[in-house]
Amino acid sequence: MNLLVKADQAGKPLVDVTPASAGWTHVGFRAVRLAAQEREVWQQPGRECCVVILAGKASVKVGEQEWTHLGERQSVFDDMAPYAVYAPPGVAVEVTAESNAEVAFCSAPSAGNHPARLITPDSMQRSVRGKEANTRYVTDILPQTAPADCLLVVEVRTPSGHSSSYPPHKHDRDALPEESVLEETYYHRLNPAQGFAFQRVYTDDRRIDQSMAVEDHDVVMVPEGYHPVSVPYGYESYYLNVMAGPKREWCFKNDPAHEWIIAKP
């Protein structure tokens, strides 16, 4: 299966990955660009949703609850965390843009154990990972410490010439506490937009080994295997990761061939 989903640059949605289209069981991801006053409704039975206001301003209605004026970022490359809203299954999620906006709908199966809530930027942990040309900036939007049934959502900015999700790691073996099974999508953005980055997805036995040139708004699906990203000089990368699997724990294993990189003084 081709793991690269090319964006429909003029489309609505820009990209839409469902469990059926991906051939897996958990992660769903849709990204849309909305003009001011435009509305997008998301509703999928048995699935929880984390709406991320990637850029622009929008209001989000979940059933009878509504939050307005969400979003401070002009672009995903602004140095600030986004607004997000968690929605349980069985309710319609309505997003109305208050300015031109870009919005992500991240979803996974859910038994409906958690109520709808606003997730504010100041509640999200932001961290710097790695060093030298492996430095990248991570924002935990919906980490395993925050309530949800299945979903994990995180975003990463990788500077020009740097690598991230590196050294390569995987999470495809049910062997907690060493490793958990999580499907994952990467929604890629590039700055400036004509840029490109590279992502490789490969397994130990190379049954899967795909190296992809990703462009702005493309999605890479990671059903299993290691999944590092490299960004060429001159372009900055952003990606939004959605992860979900049978257990809501992110425990990964580094590729032993490359793990020495993080031990380097």
- Which residues bind to ligand LN3RO5KU, rule: CB under 6 A? 129, 136, 154, 156, 164-165, 171, 184, 227, 241, 243, 252
- Rounded CA separation 245/240 (Å): 17
Closest contact distance (angstroms) between CB of 19 and ligand LN3RO5KU is: 18
- Pick 33 or 171: Cβ nearer ligand LN3RO5KU: 171
Q: How many CB atoms lie within 10 A of CB 230?
A: 18
Q: Which residues lie below 8 Å from residue 23, measured CB to CB, with a gap of 6+?
A: 1, 223
Q: Is 238 helix (H, G, I), strand (E, B) or coil?
A: strand
- Rounded CA separation 256/259 (Å): 5
Closest contact distance (angstroms) between CB of 147 and ligand LN3RO5KU is: 20
- Rounded CA separation 84/75 (Å): 15
Q: How many residues does the chain have?
A: 265
Chain centroid offset of residue 102 CA: 14
- Pick 36 or 257: Cβ nearer ligand LN3RO5KU: 257
- Pick 61 or 157: Cβ nearer ligand LN3RO5KU: 157
Closest contact distance (angstroms) between CB of 173 and ligand LN3RO5KU is: 14
Q: Are 138 and 79 in contact (CB under 8 A)?
A: no
Closest contact distance (angstroms) between CB of 12 and ligand LN3RO5KU is: 27
- Pick 96 or 185: Cβ nearer ligand LN3RO5KU: 185
- Pick 107 or 241: Cβ nearer ligand LN3RO5KU: 241
Question: Which residue's C-beta sits nearest to ligand LN3RO5KU?
Answer: 164
- Rounded CA separation 242/182 (Å): 9
Closest contact distance (angstroms) between CB of 136 and ligand LN3RO5KU is: 5
